[in-house]
Amino acid sequence: MAAVDTATEARPAPAGRPFFEAKGIKSYYGESYIVQGIDLAVAEGEVLALLGRNGAGKTSTLRTIARADAPQLKRGTIRLGDTDLTRMTAAQAARAGVQLVPEDRRIIQGLTVEENLKLAQIAEPKGWDLDRIYSHFPRLAERRRQEATTMSGGEQQMLAVARALAREIRLLLLDEPYEGLAPVIVQEIEKIVAEIKELGITTIMVEQNAIAALHLADRAIIMDMGEIVYTGTAKDVLEDRELREEYLAV
């Protein structure tokens, strides 16, 4: 399926007022634009898979939404419910309920699992307490006194997600949650993401493992060269082999 066809046949945004909406966002590193005026709309409780080849602009889009220092937002507006995030800092966006789990996880060296979680809860507003976190992440309960960076990659990914839930959360941004993990560990992380979906947490997930992401997502957006080239249901993308081969190489 050609890019022009998929763009023309793109499905509309969710009915009603979107829970999260970004309009015409353009962001750049230095003098190079990496996100080229894209529009996103996500319904409350929806899981959106943001897909594309390496360099398509997916991570930059997540970082722009999270109001990270880079890339810089040049144009566009970003809203979460009634909250305008456009001119916020990353810390302000986090307090508004936007929680980013970055690809590198950013586990704090020298601190235990529990200390990492408690540190996330220092600033208001708080999210899940430790008892709730440990009930959903029993592996972390077992490792609570272990230095966090000595855990396996999968366990560190669990901690990164749990740390996001320790803050008030309205929008969860997952950047490559399965990156570098063995298939058996990927299955564990998939169960956690599926449980988050069942809890009704609105999520945007960037994942190179497109098939795994599509099995969990409600809708999918495919990016190429900083632009959106396709919007549709996750089921549509799973069933369209030609589309996947063209833009996702799967």
- Condensed to tens digits (0 to 9), the pLDDT of residues 35-86 reads 999 999 999 999 999 999 999 999 999 999 999 999 999 999 999 999 999 9
- The ranges assigned to domains in the chain are 3-97+170-179+186-247, 105-166
Write down the architecture of domain 3-97+170-179+186-247 according to CATH.
Answer: 3-Layer(aba) Sandwich (3.40)
Task: Using DSSP, state whether 164 is helix, strand or coil.
Answer: helix
- C-alpha span between 161 and 159 (Å, rounded): 5
For 124-179, write each residue's pLDDT tens digit: 888 999 999 999 999 999 999 999 999 999 999 999 999 999 999 999 999 999 99
**Residue (of 184, 204, 213) closest to 101 by Cα position:** 204
For 173-211, write each residue's pLDDT tens digit: 999 999 988 888 888 889 999 999 999 999 999 999 999
CA distances from 244 to 35, 205, 236, 250 (A): 21, 17, 10, 6
Global pTM reads 0.89
What angle (nearest 5°) sits at the alpha carbon of residue 183, between those of residues 178 and 189?
45
- C-alpha span between 121 and 125 (Å, rounded): 8
